Amino acid sequence: MPPFLVINVRCFMKFEDYSHTFLHFHTTEVPAILKKYLSGRAGLVDLGAGDGNLLISLKTAGMLDPFSKVVAVELSEERCERLRAYTNFKVICGDATNVKELEAESFDVVLCTQVIEHVDEAKLLAQISKLLRPNGMAYIASLIKEKHGWWYYRTPSGQWALDPTHLREYESVEQYEAVIKKGGFTIVETVTSRLELSIIEFVLRRIIVPIFKPEHIHGFFIKYPFADWIRRHFNVRPPGYHIVETIAKKAQ
């Protein structure tokens, strides 16, 4: 990862600044499609785990109990430190597209949410395929941006985007699924939902954390249910953006 990632509307953003500014908050929400399909015992790995928000949700719901091992892979040293502080998962600090520490075909489940748009697609999908056991399941989530979609960040190529580190944003479900199929996977199910950005999360990231530097802020919404209610009900909907979630298996 280069030391300077992108130009946004005002300035260069360093990778370490991105990891410090774009915090992920823990909640108890589990994606409905994971509730439907998640199963296995041999192991689960989250590639590009961030601050562990998805893993924490699954753990809180008891959905990680059957797995013999749970591993989080994250590139940011700062996020890795936070993962170790908040969880007891094995944490590997490194590139999600090239995880040399993990054995091939050693996981029943690979999670990869909001990562594929940041990295080399082919390398990431090859890594997912390598780690999965023959009957394993991959959960891959990203974004769909319609033609009229807009947000206020700039990517390295000068495009307006939802995130300043995006290399691409998919234009349709068909384009997104085609990438996954090309990577050697069969699509089991894909669902989409309207993207909603929490106003209270924005306030926490940009105002509360920089000024007051509170400890254990990542668990704020789990600790305070009313704040979590506000998070879920007061949102901004970026024009033309949708979350896309896919369950996939290695093609036989």
Please write the tens of the pLDDT for every residue from 66-94: 999 999 999 999 999 989 988 889 999 99
Domains of the chain: 15-144+168-195+240-250 (3.40.50.150)
Per-residue pLDDT for 4 more than 50? Answer: no
Q: What is the mean pLDDT of the chain?
A: 90
Q: Which residue reads 């959960």 in tokens?
A: 139
Q: Which of 219, 244, 224, 211 is nearest to 57 (CA)?
A: 219
Residue 164: per-residue pLDDT: 86
pLDDT for residue 9:
35
Asked if the model's pLDDT at residue 20 lies above 70, the reply is: no
In the chain, pLDDT over 70 holds for what percent of residues? 92
Which one is predicted more confidently, 26 or 11? Answer: 26
Instruction: Report the alpha-carbon distance of residue 49 to residue 187 in Å, rounded.
Output: 22
Give the pLDDT score at 212: 81
pTM (2 d.p.): 0.90
pLDDT tens digits for range 174-218: 999 999 999 999 999 999 999 999 999 999 998 998 888 888 888
pLDDT digits (tens, 9 = 90+) for 92-137: 999 999 999 999 999 999 999 999 999 999 999 999 999 999 999 9
Overall average pLDDT of the 36-47 stretch = 95
User: Which candidate, 221, 242, 32, places its Cα nearest to that of 139?
Assistant: 32
Cα–Cα distance between 10 and 8 in angstroms, integer?
Answer: 5
Whole-number pLDDT of residue 13: 45
pLDDT, position 165: 86
Q: What percent of the chain has pLDDT over 90?
A: 74
d(CA 245, CA 194): 12
- pLDDT at position 48 over 70: yes
